[in-house]
Amino acid sequence: MAELVKEFDVSENTHISGGIQRGPRRADHFTVLSNAVLNDARLSFRARGILMWLLSKPADWRTRSESLAAQSPTEGHDAVRTAMRELEEHGYLVREKVQDERGRWHTL
């Protein structure tokens, strides 16, 4: 499949010297991960699937297990939490706990 290339008018306000702009890279819609992750026998298939889904998100993206379970038509809250604990146990997931100004703890 060819990448999208489009022509555009070069205005006097731009520093671009040509009249062709490269379109979005096809790789922007793919996630690359090591086969070692996919073949890590310590992880259940459920945990591997959740990990792949999490890795497909932007670097600054955050979520909670409740949100993950709500998005899945087949995985319940307990199943998602178990898989997330599995990922944390094996170093694939890091949870950050912070205390707010009122002394309450939150997991980020």
CB 71 within 8 A of CB 79: no
**pLDDT score for 22:** 58
Q: Is 33 helix (H, G, I), strand (E, B) or coil?
A: coil
Separation in Å, CA 40 to CA 50, 84, 91, 92, 94: 14, 15, 12, 11, 18
Q: For 8-23, what is each residue's pLDDT tens digit?
A: 444 454 555 555 665 5
Q: Rounded to an integer, what distance in angstroms lies between the CA atom of residue 22 and that of residue 63?
A: 33
Give the DSSP letter of residue 40. -
Backbone angles phi, psi at 82, to 5 degrees: -65, -45
* pTM score, whole prediction: 0.65
